[in-house]
Amino acid sequence: MALINELRVLGFSIAIDDFGTGYSSLSQLSTLPASTLKIDRAFVSKIIPETVNEPVIEAVIALGHSLGMQVVAEGVETDAQRCFLVSAGCDIAQGYFYSKPLKVEEMQKLLEVKA
């Protein structure tokens, strides 16, 4: 934990990845020196057409914000998912809806076109 704190002092950002899958301890969440909470794609993929995960995702976003964290949703593939996440207050979304993984040169071209 001391090393993580040292990295933060040096300007590194620490993220909790794949939150909601595997071993995600709520009791430890508030003690970790993380600035970002990433919601796993397993939750995001079921936003539309199923709505069963929507209250869970809203709660995770609210929890992350209450702990002063930026919340990122992984695996966004549709505009409907993006719209839900925006309305739920998610800070950042990533996934194929925006772009497939790109090589550096491809990313530079994409940024030039979007600028």
Cite the active site residues: 74
Q: How many Å apart are CA 95 and CA 98, to the nearest integer?
A: 6
Q: How far is CA 51 from CA 3, 79, 101, 112, in A?
A: 40, 15, 28, 37
Q: How many Å apart are CA 94 and CA 74, to the nearest integer?
A: 5
- 69 phi and psi angles, rounded to 5 deg: -100, 150
